[in-house]
A and B are shown apart, each in its own frame.
Chain A
Amino acid sequence: MTTMLLNGNPVTVSAEPDTPLLWVLRGELHLTGTKFGCGIAACGACTVHLDGQPIRSCVTPLSAVGAKAVTTVEGLSGSEAGALSAAWLEVDVVQCGYCQTGQLMSACALLRATPKPSDQEIDVAMSGNICRCGTYPRVRAAIHAAAETLAPTQK
């Protein structure tokens, strides 16, 4: 049995320590907001936060989590998350939607570290998140819009 801090609460799971965090979340806890896409950290659909850092849960074993705080889309909160959700809806980013929770996790970590990201900073932070529907232009627009909401440019 392993106890981890998940979305602010201690949770005890029976998965073996080598189980990827993704499959602990999906297979044991049935938290299906975190998605399986590739299994090799190549698509970003499984992105969660570990102590606030975006990580690929498909290649992160439970044993590597330790005492660090795990945040999934189900527990995502705060001003950046709120601004991003609102901007995502306003821009109407989503198509099939499967990758979008991962996109939002990466975008949220970006805004927390870089409140006003440039296009190039968005490219770097979001390059690990594949969207086969091609929502990238709207993802970019929504990140800029959320950044603007959080800290309006002085005019």
Chain B
Amino acid sequence: MKRRTFVLRSVLAVGALGIGWSVLPARSRLGDGDDIPEDAGEKALNGWVKIGADNHVTVIMSKSEMGQGIHTGLAMILADELDADWSQVRIEMSPMNAIYNNIVTVIDGLPFRPDDHGLVQRTVAWLTAKTMREAGLMMTGGSSSMKDLWLPMRQAGASARAMLVGAAAAEWKVPASEITVDAGTLRHTSGKSATFGQLIAAAANQPLMKDPPLKTPAQFRIIGTPAKRLESEEKQAGTTTYGIDVVLPGMLYASVVMCPTLGGTVQSFSGKAALAMPGVKHVISVAGYNGGTGGVAVIADTPFHAMTAVKAVTVTWDHGAMASVSSAQIMTQLASALDTQTGHAYYSHGNIDDALTSAAKTVTAEYRAPYLAHAAIEPINCTVQVKDGRATVWASTQVPGVARHAAAKALGISTDHVDVKVQFLGGAFGRRLDVDFIGQAAAIAKAAPGVPVQTIWSREEDTRHDFYRPATVARFTAALDATGVLIGLRNTSAGQAIVSNALDRYFALPGLPLDKTASEGAFDQPYEYPAARIAHQTVTLPVPVGFWRAVGHSHQAFFTEAFLDEVAHAAGKDPVAFRLALLAHHPRHARVLTRVAELSAWNAPRPAAPAGTRVGRGVALHESFGSVVAHVAEVSVNADNTFRVTRITGVIDCGTPVNPNLIRQQMEGGIIFGMSAALHGEITIENGQVTQANYNDYPVVRMPDTPVIAVDIIPSTEHPQGVGEPPLPPVAPAIANALFAATGQRVRTLPLRLSPASA
């Protein structure tokens, strides 16, 4: 299929998502705020902000806060354009409304390289934006929130400001142009002044200002400052309500045991013993919802009664299609797919066959990455109350719209009859883009009509019933000319598709031919050389795969940046200099790489390694979600080939740095999350069952493993880009490259383990 046909068909398929979804007639995302609940003295000036008579400014928040700091970041940009007093700003979660639908994620999901601004790309992006305004979904993911809402939030703040100014001008009978606004107070040269609170009632009667002038970057007062996270104090005090902290009058608790084989169902069960136990109200079987696995739920008066009684349920399982699947056999299957298949070329340039034939030297390698679980610290949970044909869902979710759909479907009621109340998320990392547990919790709550039921998974169920990062194998061949210049690169990876499976789970839309995520991190990188073929072979397997922080980038960056390091060494060149030579036309990337080299003193002589150890440094550069990140990792390897990451220096260019404090947090956190995957993360499957269960056998980085981390942010006035995911992808390759520098061993499989030292 020609790429154009492929892309246009995808857009039409995406358009089909609109069926059954609320439609937004106006093209503006400003909204009128009519559906925003108002307390006494409060008035909403549009769909994004309301102001109280006591001067507080409430930013209406459509994005889920899962640690990435988006509540603070988005509030800052609205408050800046509003000229609000930052200390008066608070947050309230938005209702469901099409103005909050995420447009950027879907455009970013189209299979174009970031530097492709050709006619086809522009037409398709425009068409998609138009479609998604009406068909999109409220979603927090893909590091897209700031990119998606940078303009709408600024326009909303500026519009509200204009209405306040309009109200003051009318009251004071002066031209609006003579009024200034600063920190929540409006002033006129005559000496008249009024606070937001004094003007809000009149401002609400001003006409909605649809196209307000926006500030220039030089006029920003809050954007660009290292403001502290708004909700830190409550989180420290333990008063923040995460999904699992929802407490409702008369609430019951459910615990579930699911088929240990992924995708399995209940053939038969006996709840007799469980029903006889203290506090137990109901024992029911539940199907697998939205790609999940079937199981048996116990509803009881307390969480501990439910989780104790569920162990007394006896179940005969139907293990289903996964019963004979093992991850070891899958790795073999992926590798053999690469023996026989050439995959879909996401990027093709020049003549790779000629380049390889004419090469003075070629480098060939195979890389592997395992399945990974998300292991967010808040176990999966969801609270649902089914009453009088309606349902209310309280959940830690990244997708309230999809969650509403899932609950409605599980209950057989209309989507309009489901209300979703998004709570704070105790981590998500993409796990809470899935709604298997929402459908399940709704079905469980249906067994106790009228009563809110909180379903809580054990950590073991959480680990064993995830939507995993797909296991992937990649093969590379690079061609170098006689002077060590890279003249061609062939890269084919094999693994499961993520997006098409997810859309099938969300909306029963199978076979969507749109999966940029499979090859992202491989086909879309900036390096230029005369010939390339970057392809991915989709292999269909029954293992549930989903969106794991940085998605395709997380493993593809390991493959591509570790392999590029091999090529640099084969060419006899310094890894930084080798990369810079391939970035001649990409000054933004070159700047990030140059800065990380400076900051890590890359070119300075190294101090001697402490006795009995070997040390090494490795570099990696990667673009994802619109941002460019480079890391230099330093490792110290012991005599027995165990090792420690001692330092990571990271640099990010994420466009306008809205809040350098929170960007640094994401760099630090992304580095540590990436280290967990690089050093420890591995989910294995035997007989269709996940072997790991808890943090003891699925370990993550802890305090003593934490290296020294130094971070820098490149100044910019460009449109802000993603921050939650981009710090992660270059972590594993930087460490792998450092291990090579220290030991000469090239580790091509995650998690990174050096071969035992030879005696």
For residue A52, CB closer than 8 A to chain B, the reply is no
A132 vs B669: C-alpha distance when bound (angstroms): 8
**Interface stretch (choices A27-35, A63-71, A144-152):** A27-35
For residue A115, CB closer than 8 A to chain B, the reply is no
B141-162 interface with A by 8 A CB criterion:
none
Inter-chain contacts of A136 with B (CB < 8 A): 672, 701-703, 706
Distance to closest chain B CB from A113 (angstroms): 17
Distance to closest chain B CB from A142 (angstroms): 10
A126 vs B708: C-alpha distance when bound (angstroms): 16
Residue in B232, B671, B700 whose beta carbon sits within 8 Å of that of A97 in the complex: B232
The answer on a CB contact under 8 Å between B228 and A89 is yes
Inter-chain contacts of B709 with A (CB < 8 A): 137
Distance to closest chain A CB from B430 (angstroms): 12
Q: Are A130 and B302 also in contact (CB < 8 A) when A35-B426, A37-B459 are?
A: no
Residue in A20, A27, A97, A129 whose beta carbon sits within 8 Å of that of B236 in the complex: A97
The answer on a CB contact under 8 Å between B377 and A99 is yes
The answer on a CB contact under 8 Å between B377 and A37 is yes
B59-103 interface with A by 8 A CB criterion:
65-69
A34 vs B245: C-alpha distance when bound (angstroms): 10
B689-712 interface with A by 8 A CB criterion:
694-696, 700-704, 706, 708-709
Q: Are A89 and B232 also in contact (CB < 8 A) when A36-B244, A95-B67, A132-B429 are?
A: yes
A33 vs B425: C-alpha distance when bound (angstroms): 14
Inter-chain contacts of A1 with B (CB < 8 A): none
Inter-chain contacts of A100 with B (CB < 8 A): 235-236
For residue A112, CB closer than 8 A to chain B, the reply is no
The answer on a CB contact under 8 Å between B703 and A127 is yes
A137 vs B278: C-alpha distance when bound (angstroms): 45
Distance to closest chain A CB from B675 (angstroms): 8
Distance to closest chain B CB from A62 (angstroms): 10
Distance to closest chain A CB from B448 (angstroms): 16
Q: Mark B395-433, 1 if CB is under 8 A from A, else 0.
A: 000000000000000000000000000001111110000
Among B240, B247, B425, the one with the most A-chain Cβ atoms within 10 Å of its Cβ is B240
Q: Mark A95-128, 1 if CB is under 8 A from B, else 0.
A: 1111111001000000000000000001110111
**Contact residues of B: prevailing secondary structure:** loop
The answer on a CB contact under 8 Å between A42 and B68 is no
Inter-chain contacts of B65 with A (CB < 8 A): 96
For residue B241, CB closer than 8 A to chain A, the reply is yes
B423-447 interface with A by 8 A CB criterion:
424-429
The answer on a CB contact under 8 Å between B236 and A132 is no
Distance to closest chain A CB from B439 (angstroms): 22
The answer on a CB contact under 8 Å between B304 and A19 is yes
The closest CB in chain A to the CB of B454 belongs to A27
For residue B670, CB closer than 8 A to chain A, the reply is yes
A19-77 interface with B by 8 A CB criterion:
19-20, 23, 26-28, 30, 32-40, 42-43, 45, 72-74
Residue in A23, A35, A97, A132 whose beta carbon sits within 8 Å of that of B375 in the complex: A132
Inter-chain contacts of B456 with A (CB < 8 A): 36
The answer on a CB contact under 8 Å between B236 and A38 is no
Q: Are A130 and B303 also in contact (CB < 8 A) when A30-B247, A95-B67 are?
A: no
For residue B171, CB closer than 8 A to chain A, the reply is no
Distance to closest chain B CB from A138 (angstroms): 7
The answer on a CB contact under 8 Å between A101 and B379 is no
B16-37 interface with A by 8 A CB criterion:
none
A72 vs B616: C-alpha distance when bound (angstroms): 44
The answer on a CB contact under 8 Å between B669 and A122 is no
A13 vs B638: C-alpha distance when bound (angstroms): 53
The answer on a CB contact under 8 Å between B703 and A96 is no
A137 vs B704: C-alpha distance when bound (angstroms): 10
The answer on a CB contact under 8 Å between A23 and B302 is yes
Cross-chain pair count, CB within 8 angstroms: 171
The answer on a CB contact under 8 Å between B303 and A27 is yes
Among A19, A32, A129, the one with the most B-chain Cβ atoms within 10 Å of its Cβ is A32
The answer on a CB contact under 8 Å between A123 and B673 is no
The answer on a CB contact under 8 Å between B669 and A134 is yes
Distance to closest chain B CB from A72 (angstroms): 8
The closest CB in chain A to the CB of B674 belongs to A134
Inter-chain contacts of B706 with A (CB < 8 A): 134, 136-137, 140
The answer on a CB contact under 8 Å between A73 and B694 is no
The answer on a CB contact under 8 Å between A45 and B68 is no
For residue A83, CB closer than 8 A to chain B, the reply is no
For residue A4, CB closer than 8 A to chain B, the reply is no
The answer on a CB contact under 8 Å between A101 and B703 is no
Inter-chain contacts of B695 with A (CB < 8 A): 37-38, 40, 42-43, 130
Residue in B231, B244, B304, B694 whose beta carbon sits within 8 Å of that of A38 in the complex: B694
Chain B: residues with Cβ within 8 Å of the partner, total of 61
Distance to closest chain A CB from B101 (angstroms): 24
Inter-chain contacts of A88 with B (CB < 8 A): 232, 236
Distance to closest chain A CB from B617 (angstroms): 20
For residue B607, CB closer than 8 A to chain A, the reply is no
Residue in A23, A74, A96, A127 whose beta carbon sits within 8 Å of that of B66 in the complex: A96
Q: Are A132 and B238 also in contact (CB < 8 A) when A27-B253, A40-B459 are?
A: no
The answer on a CB contact under 8 Å between A43 and B672 is no
Distance to closest chain B CB from A76 (angstroms): 9
Inter-chain contacts of A32 with B (CB < 8 A): 238, 241, 244-245, 247
The closest CB in chain A to the CB of B68 belongs to A95
Inter-chain contacts of A133 with B (CB < 8 A): 67, 427, 669, 673
The answer on a CB contact under 8 Å between A101 and B238 is yes
The closest CB in chain A to the CB of B669 belongs to A134
A131 vs B60: C-alpha distance when bound (angstroms): 29
Residue in A15, A85, A95 whose beta carbon sits within 8 Å of that of B69 in the complex: A95
For residue B668, CB closer than 8 A to chain A, the reply is yes
For residue A5, CB closer than 8 A to chain B, the reply is no
A26 vs B247: C-alpha distance when bound (angstroms): 10
For residue B388, CB closer than 8 A to chain A, the reply is no
Q: Are A96 and B232 also in contact (CB < 8 A) when A23-B304, A132-B673 are?
A: no
Residue in A72, A96, A99, A138 whose beta carbon sits within 8 Å of that of B425 in the complex: A96
The answer on a CB contact under 8 Å between A42 and B376 is no
Q: Are A43 and B701 also in contact (CB < 8 A) when A38-B695, A74-B238, A134-B668 are?
A: no
A126 vs B705: C-alpha distance when bound (angstroms): 11
The answer on a CB contact under 8 Å between B378 and A35 is yes
For residue B237, CB closer than 8 A to chain A, the reply is yes
The answer on a CB contact under 8 Å between B238 and A96 is no
A19 vs B309: C-alpha distance when bound (angstroms): 13
For residue A6, CB closer than 8 A to chain B, the reply is no
A93 vs B676: C-alpha distance when bound (angstroms): 19
Task: List the 10 closest pairs (A to B, CB-CB), nearest first.
Answer: A33-B238, A134-B672, A96-B67, A97-B235, A98-B426, A95-B67, A134-B669, A23-B304, A32-B245, A123-B704
Question: Can you identify 12 A-B contacts, CB atoms within 8 angstroms?
Answer: A23-B302, A23-B303, A27-B302, A33-B238, A36-B379, A37-B377, A38-B694, A38-B695, A39-B459, A95-B669, A128-B702, A130-B702
Interfacial residues, chain B to chain A (CB-CB below 8 A): 65-69, 228-229, 231-233, 235-242, 244-245, 247, 253, 278, 302-304, 375-379, 424-429, 456, 458-460, 661, 665, 668-673, 676, 694-696, 700-704, 706, 708-709
12 additional A-B residue pairs with CB within 8 Å, beyond A19-B304, A34-B238, A94-B229: A20-B304, A32-B245, A89-B232, A92-B229, A97-B231, A97-B232, A97-B424, A127-B702, A129-B702, A129-B703, A132-B676, A134-B670
